[in-house]
Structure 1
Amino acid sequence: MTEPAPLNGFGPLISFILSISALRDWAKLLIIGSFFETCRRLLATVWSSTIDSFFLTASFEDHDDSYKWMMIWLSKQPSWKNVRNVNISTGERYSGNVPDSEGESDTSGMPKVCYLPALSGSYTLWYKYRWMRITRVSEPIPGWGPNHRDSLNISIFTRNHDILNTILQDAKKAYQDAQGSSITVYISDSANCWRELATRRKRPLDSIILDPGIRELVVEDAQDFLASKKWYAERGIPFRRGYLLYGAPGSGKTSLIHSIAGELELDVYIISLSRSGLDDTGLSELISDLPERCIALMEDIDAALHNSLSREDTPTPPNQTAEFIPSSPRTPTHTTSKVSLSGLLNALDGIGAQEGRILFATTNKYSSLDPALCRPGRMDLHVEFKLASRYQADELFKRFYLPSSPKTPADDDQEPKSNPAQSHLNGSICDGGSTDLIDLGVPDDVADSPPSSPSACSEKSERAALTYTGTRHRGHAPKLSSDQLSALAAQFASAIPEREVSMAALQGYLMSQKSRPSEAAREVSAWLQKELATKKAQNETKS
């Protein structure tokens, strides 16, 4: 059998193509063009690499704290005053980055104006004899949640990383100075990312009035934990700490957490177990993404996911009645959250749980929590918050009527001016207890006219009492000596029964008597009778 002849038909085809002059010219242009384009790209790459070798470039994403550092730091640079293209913002996120004009403090209550780098704009400035170029860009992102992501790119003409470290240190210090006496609160979005919610002023520890030893117990324990990282590492113990604050509503649980966050200079990350769409995986992601030093807060865990957080209905302990620790009125009947008890337990102390964080959980119904959730390692310290004692009532009264700081001209400008009609209403024509009611539904011409007779005043006061329960407290409380204040506080506290009303209720009553300490001590018994009667009626309705 003879072998087939090899295919040799390509030679004539190529010869035919090359014989066409037009195609021959196009081939030359293609080869020459490809050569020059390759050279151009090569030279551009070499040039870019050469230039980049003299520049240090850093990028900052808006979801990271360093982005806020840099934004505030940029606004404080002297050359920033000459920038011609800026974005204006009145949000609280960068409220510390623009000083008030002429160094005056803003007492009008209007939002502060912030100057931010404009999007897609480039700025140049000098920092310690280094030339810098700053660019802020915004990129759209698909999906739910925020529809864009901002980033800040900074290029520095240097080959030394020390200058970048110096900038970051200065930026962090500028941010801390701008924050001053405030903490930052974060929440999670639908994409399971932490987003800044607001900044809140720090609350002094001495403003939290609890039974002796409770405040010191929690604060000192948290301080010792933060200082014991090496001790935990040497013994192979996970560096985590959990606190369960339980007890009656309005007893100061959340207020204590707020105060501790300010004392320890920690930001607060609120974990809402009842958030729509949150599941076990999302919860684990949120907890694993927590920073090393922070406070994670789970409020009312007895109300959130009530069905999944308890395996069975546990009877109330004998020493705790339903009145002592009432169930939360916010308990949902249906929930869209998909977090299970096992998912919560694994998120708190699983292999992916963040270390260094402090977890605070609050509940009004301690007995409904599963023992697995309350065990050490998850909730290490359980602290009970009871209803108000006489000691707390005494201390609250003293703090409420402490002499205020000296008035400033700005305070005088802000204080509303009184008119003759208000003087009549606050005078001796009507009874002092009822004249402080404000009927906002009365027309201005009637409210501003003085009563013509005691009967008319009585009728108007009765109508206001039927419609409104708030009392007016304009003005300042009289200055009391320490002996007078102590005597009134003792009188006030003696009328308060032990563990019958909450501190929130007492504070609400004192707010209604803001400028009348003597009346507050004298009339508390009448208020207390109404408060206890209302509470009894509510309990009977529930039962």
Structure 2
Amino acid sequence: MEAISAVLPGLTASATGDPSEGFPGGQFMGNMLASIGFDPSLLVKISVTITIFASMFGFLSNAWEGISQMSRFFSENFISSATIRSTDEAYVYIMRFLYAHNISTDSRLFGVTCRRNQMNPNYREHAKWNGQDAENEVDGDGFNIVEDSLGPKLKYNAAPGFSHFWYKHRLFLMQRKLKDDYYGFEEPEVDLTLISIGRSPLALRCLLEEARAEYLRDRQSNTLIHTIVASYPPNWSVGYPRPPRSLDSVIMKKQDKERLLKDMKEYLAPNTVHWYHKHGLPYRRGYLFYGLPGAGKTSLTMALACELNLPIYCLSLASTMMSDDNLLGLFGKLPKRCIVLMEDIDSAGIDKRPGPGGRLYTALTSQDEEDDDEDHAEDIRKREERKKLQLFKSESTVTLSGLLNAIDGISSHEGRILIMTTNYRQLLDDALIRPGRVDMEIKFEHADIEVLEGIFRGVYADPDDLPDFIRGKEKMTDEEYMRRYHEKLNKLAHEFASRVPSGKFSPAQVQGYLLGHKSDPEEAMDCLDEWLESKVDEINQLEEAEKKAKERLERAAERKIKELQKKKKERLKQERQEKEEEEEEEKARKEKEVEAAAEAEKEKRNKGGLGKWLVRRDTS
């Protein structure tokens, strides 16, 4: 009681009923609390407790501020850090590096997502290194298996926060921080910060360089395919690997293949760029692959990229997010050496005029478009064919001028190889495929004898796939077995090519049939007549339908030509009539002017004679 009185004597005094030592009103409050059975000394204890906690809180706050200042001082002067955003390719380097060195990126605090619902190609690339779980299987192409027999599998990602790992006897800290400003249809962006103790950033840089080197070396054996990320503005994805494809696996005319490969290698030679600049030429090269579908245009591009060790950047002009500015920006972000692939350039629907819904073919914009009377018959036929294919074209906001500016404008990218593919070369604008923009054209036609033999050999080229193709293998040496294998294979290939009509089937059709008998070439030969009978009838019907359609198109073009000729004759006739009417009007106007001049002269003479007569009369 004495200690309490020493702290708050006034309240004690009021509680004991001594008004001389209490504060004003203390006795009254004490009496009132006592009357209800409440001990006033409890207020003193509560006040003391609150005071103690307030003092402790103030001390801890000051101490925490001091610790924070010390932490900032330490981080600014005694540690090194590197921050990488998940949208950058360097993030993929680090995640692959941690995965390869068995450095855990998982934790007991983790996020869960269904792998299949991630739309961002960048996410799909680094997802297989973003958290290690027991079910983290990888298929033959290096991609995560995202489904099992039940459906989509779950992906476990490390939660935001700090973690640590040791590398080369050195401690590294790692912080993952999620960005809040992301759209729900894709993986949120992550800021990954690596921290090392010490003022020198050399350890961090060495780790980053090693991660980059390991990643790129791992990718050299594959072909990287880059697509467009659905961001604003659109950007290139970090690329996903595709297994290498040999150029020998593409069956086409040997002459065209050798000519194309030689031209590309010469263009990519180290001294070629100096030659271009010395002659004042832009260092660019363009190719057009055209012909029937399923002939190997895309496959050839993949094989060329593998042969030349170049990445492929796939660009779709029919994309709804594509515009002239976005297209120019994407071309500006291309690396120095790459292949830009524009597939089905004819179906992009690009027009010479700006604005939404434009088309490469102005005649396709409206069926009621006025024709030029001075057009040649061939131009009219081409325009009618374009109208026939109007329904197969897609809308695009890219204009022809924007495309041409991106390809070879004053600010366009140099050093790349541009490959455009189309099924209808005749529908492309002449400005798009002129020399300088398209330097070489490769036509893909129906399979001839050379291609048919090549397809057959390509399907059955591996002896390991046909263990029973040559009987008595165990009694032969390896050299003898391979010799007999190729002799028999060449014989069957020659027979196959002689039995299949040349110029009737696309390479894809022939390959599709052989893949149905990929384990038995002799069975493929036995079933060939039946397949040919069904397919030849189908092809003949298609050819007959195309012939009739071509005849209808020709008749429509002839009618259009006759209409234009008739309109031209009527226009010329009308112009002659108008000219004759103008001449008659001019002649009548001149006659009136002559008559008016004669009348004026006559009136003048009359007035002059009357004046002389009046003068004579006055004189007389």
For Structure 1 versus Structure 2, the TM-score category normalised by the shorter chain is 0.5 to 0.7
Match of 1:280 in 2: 324
Q: Deviations over 1:350-375 (max 9, x none)?
A: 24433333221101111211122113
Q: Check the 8 A contact 2:324/2:399 in 1, yes or no.
A: yes
Instruction: Give the alignment partner of residue 385 of structure 1, picking from 426, 435, 444.
Output: 444
2: distance between equivalents of 1:521 and 1:225?
43
Match of residue 139 from structure 1: 179
Partner residue in 1 for 2:247: 205
Deviation at 1:491, TM superposition (A): 0.5
Report the CA distance between 1:494 and its aligned residue: 0.8
2:490 corresponding residue in structure 1? 486
| Alignment counterpart, residue 231 of structure 1, candidates 258, 271, 274 | 274
Counting only pairs closer than 5 Å after superposition, residues 430-469 of structure 1 correspond to structure 2 as none
Aligned to 1:508: 512
Whether contact under 8 Å (1:60, 1:151) holds in the other structure is yes
Identity %, equivalent residues: 30
- For residue 276 of structure 1, report the CA deviation from its aligned partner: 1.7
Contact conserved, 2:288 with 2:442, CA < 8 A, in 1? yes
**What is aligned with 1:442?**
none
- How far did 1:211 drift? 0.8
1:262-305 C-alpha deviation (Å, 9 max, x unpaired): 23333322211111242211222222222333322110111221
Kindly indicate whether the alpha-carbon contact (under 8 Å) linking 1:187 and 1:271 is maintained by their aligned counterparts in 2.
yes
Q: Where does 1:43-192 land on structure 2 (aligned, <5 Å)?
A: 48=72, 51-80=75-104, 93-94=125-126, 97=129, 111=145, 118-141=158-181, 146=186, 148-179=188-219, 181-188=221-228, 189=230, 191=232, 192=234
Q: CA RMSD, aligned part only?
A: 4.3
- Quote the Cα distance in structure 2 between the aligned partners of 1:353 and 1:248: 31
One-letter amino acid of the structure 1 residue matched with residue 274 of structure 2: W
Q: Supply the distance in 1 between the matched residues of 2:311 and 2:102 (Cα, whole angstroms).
A: 30
- Which of 235, 242, 245 does residue 193 from structure 1 map onto? 235
Q: How does 1:387-402 map to 2 (within 5 A)?
A: 387-402=446-461
Does residue 1:355 correspond to 2:414, yes or no? yes
Q: CA deviation at 1:488?
A: 0.9
Distance in structure 2 (CA, Å) of the matches to 1:96 and 1:272: 27
TM normalised by structure 1 equals 0.68
Q: CA deviation at 1:340?
A: 0.9
- Structure 1 residue 171: Cα displacement: 1.2
SS for the counterpart of 2:337 is: coil
Quote the Cα distance in structure 1 between the aligned partners of 2:440 and 2:134.
48
Q: Which structure has the larger Rg?
A: 2
Aligned with 1:246 (options 280, 284, 290) = 290
Shift of residue 145, structure 1, vs aligned partner: 6.9
1:79-130 Cα offsets, whole Å, 9 max, x none, are 4389655667867624775999999986899817999861412221233344
In structure 2, what is the equivalent of residue 339 of structure 1? Answer: 398
Structure 2: segments with no counterpart, 5+ residues = 1-60, 117-123, 147-152, 352-358, 365-374, 471-483, 550-620
Q: CA deviation at 1:69?
A: 1.0
Alignment CA distance shift 1:380-1:87 (3 Å): farther
Q: Offset of 1:217 from its aligned partner?
A: 3.0
- Post-superposition shift, 1:146? 4.0
SS in 2 for 1:354: coil
**3-state DSSP of counterpart to 1:498:** coil
Shift of 1:51: 2.5
- d(CA) in 2 for partners of 1:286 and 1:528? 47
Aligned residue pairs total: 434
The answer (yes or no) to whether the contact 1:389–1:499 under 8 Å persists in 2 is yes
- Residue identity in the other structure for 1:241: R
The Cα of 1:535 is off from its aligned counterpart by 2.4
Letter of the 2:176 counterpart: R
Partner of 2:474: none
Change (3 A) 1:147 1:103: closer
TM-score, normalised by the number of residues in structure 2: 0.60
**Do structure 1's residue 372 and structure 2's residue 431 form an aligned pair?**
yes
Contact residue 349 and residue 395 of structure 2 kept, 8 A: no
1:376 deviates by: 3.6
Given that residues 93 and 199 in structure 1 are in contact (C-alpha distance below 8 angstroms), is that contact kept between their aligned partners in structure 2?
no
Query: C-alpha deviations, 1:23-42, integer Å up to 9, x for none?
Result: xxxxxxxxxxxxxx999999
CA distance in 2: counterparts of 1:151 and 1:315, whole angstroms: 62
Aligned partners of 1:138, 1:62: CA distance in 2, in Å?
10
* TM-superposition CA deviations, 1:359-411 (whole Å, max 9, x none): 211011112111221134432222222221211111211221234437xxxxx
Is the contact between residue 298 and residue 362 of structure 1 (CA under 8 Å) also seen in structure 2? yes
Q: Alpha-carbon deviation of 1:212?
A: 0.9
State the SS of the aligned residue for 2:320.
coil
Please tell me whether the aligned partners of residues 130 and 158 of structure 1 are also in contact (alpha carbons under 8 angstroms): no
- Aligned-pair distance for 1:337? 1.8
Residue 253 (structure 1) shift: 0.6
Whichever structure has more helix as a proportion of its residues is: 2
Asked if 2 retains the 8 angstrom alpha-carbon contact of 1:203 and 1:258, the reply is yes
Shift of 1:344: 0.7
- Measured at CA, do residues 379 and 517 of structure 1 come closer, stay the same or move farther in structure 2, by a change above 3 Å? same
**Residues 288 and 384 of structure 1, relative CA distance in 2, 3 Å threshold:** same
Aligned to 1:269: 313
Specify the code of the residue in structure 1 equivalent to 2:426: S
